[in-house]
Amino acid sequence: YVELSYTLPQDSTLFLLLRETTPAIWKLKLDWIKQQPDLDGERIMITGGSYGGHMTLACATLFSDKIKCALDEVGQANFVTQLENTAPYGREIRRAEYGDERDPVIRAFLSKIAPVNNASKITKPLMVVAGRNDPRVPASESEQIVRAVKATGTPVWSLMANDEGHGFHKKKNQDYLFYAKVEFVKKYLLN
């Protein structure tokens, strides 16, 4: 198994530049996996949480032909709606990271790259995990991507914990999530 990770820069100008170039980097990484004789390039699952969840969704819109499935945990389906609906105390911090959605140019860019606006391109099974009480990435982000992908007929598993926030922290929920992930992987990655 191979894990490829990504780190989010804390500067919106750099973020916007990297968000535009990151897909090319991921394509190179996915192609590299397929070229490795000791890796199964036909069984690639993309997964990530928070911004990694956003990148999971973005990669699923761009590279459905290169993956078997994707698993998003508390990821942003649309930075515009996330910024509009996130807890007020963190809104300016997130605008500094992702860009100010009130600026028409930034808003147009964020809308263009929003996975929810490109959901028809997600053609491989998707699992979406969220906490109903998430102050950073509102549950509505997960709900909208689930609705949009389901509308295309692509299999979607959705796990919403009513007693969690940004990630699962209660043992009973962590256990449930673990076994749900195992079942998702067995069905869509290992079958």
Instruction: Considering the candidates 100, 134, 140, 163, report the single residue annotated as catalytic.
Output: 134
Instruction: Considering the candidates 50, 54, 72, 142, report the single residue annotated as catalytic.
Output: 50
Amino acid at 172: K
Instruction: Considering the candidates 163, 166, 169, 175, report the single residue annotated as catalytic.
Output: 166
Structure tokens at 159: 């796990």
Q: What are phi and psi of 116, to 5 degrees?
A: -65, -30
* 54 flagged as catalytic: no
Exposure of 181 in the CB half-sphere (CA atoms within 13 A): 15
184 contact partners, CB below 8 Å, separation of at least 6: 69, 71, 125, 127, 157
126-131 sheet: strands from edge to edge: 45-49, 69-73, 126-131, 156-161
SS3 75: coil
What residues act catalytically? 50, 134, 166
